[in-house]
Amino acid sequence: MKKNEYFTAKRVTGLAVLLALVIVLQTVGGTIAIGAVQLNFTLIPIVLGAILYGAIAGGILGFACGLVVLIQVIMGAVPFYALIWSGDPVVTTLTCLLKTTVAGVVAGWLYSLISKKNEYVAVFTTAGIVPVVNTTLFILGCLGMTDSVYALASGEQQNVLVFILVGLVTFNFFIEFAINLLVAPALQRLLKVVERVGKRK
């Protein structure tokens, strides 16, 4: 197998582990509720994949995460999911699949670009950009869900954008962002360990 081939045995193995982690975290153990705040750890494997294996890996892991979310939406895991799926299935599908996929691709691309100058800054940027892109695309998707989100906003007698930002996003984005930044130093150290192990082989 040529060195420049993307899907080497080592990379496929690493991706498989991260993919399993994405699925497990998204389905059973990725979110911890503390009152109204949701601590979400499901974006971390996407960040790690983007750092270790690049934009393609970030996109693959992000798509897998989005696919699991879409399945949960279709199954109506929470009342909000059932509402948006029945009201706007096409926009809901696109939102679920695109938000983490694009976040993973952008993260991998940014890491590759910034790490050439400063690897430490690149890790923090990558860790921070995933929740930013994920949340931004979620907000845009919600703005396109006219049949469900707009109806909810009318019921709450709020401006639609205010309802999305306050009623749907609230503190969750800030918590995700903080978690990712706190984990970034650990990712940096892990990256160094992986590099050292790779050089020994």
Q: Can you spell out the DSSP letters for 47-94?
A: HHHHHHH-HHHHHHHHHHHHHHHHHHHHTTSSHHHHHHHHH-HHHHHH
- Would 3 be classed as within a structural domain? no
**H or E stretch covering 123:** helix 119-144
Residue 117 forms part of a structural domain: yes
| Residue 37 near residue 172 (C-beta atoms within 8 A) | yes
Local structure of residue 170 (DSSP, 8 states): T
The residue ranking higher by pLDDT, 176 or 185, is 176
Residue 135 resides in a domain: yes
What pLDDT does 37 receive?
45
Tokens, residue 143: 């703005």
**DSSP, res 28:** I
**Is 1 part of any domain?**
no
In a domain, 102, yes or no: yes
Domain count, the chain: 1
Q: Is the pLDDT of residue 142 over 80?
A: yes
Give the domain extent around 67. Answer: 9-200
CATH number of the domain bearing residue 87: 1.10.1760.20
DSSP string, 124-166: HHHHHHHHHHHHHHHHHHHHH-TTTHHHHHHHTT--HHHIIII
Mean pLDDT, the chain, rounded, equals 82
Least trusted range by pLDDT, from 19-23, 72-76, 183-187: 183-187
Is 196 inside a domain boundary? Answer: yes
Query: Is 92 inside any structural domain?
Result: yes
With respect to residue 2, please indicate whether it lies within any of the assigned structural domains.
no
Position 32: which residue type? I
This prediction has a pTM of: 0.83
Q: How confident is the model at residue 47 (pLDDT cuts 50, 70, 90)?
A: very high
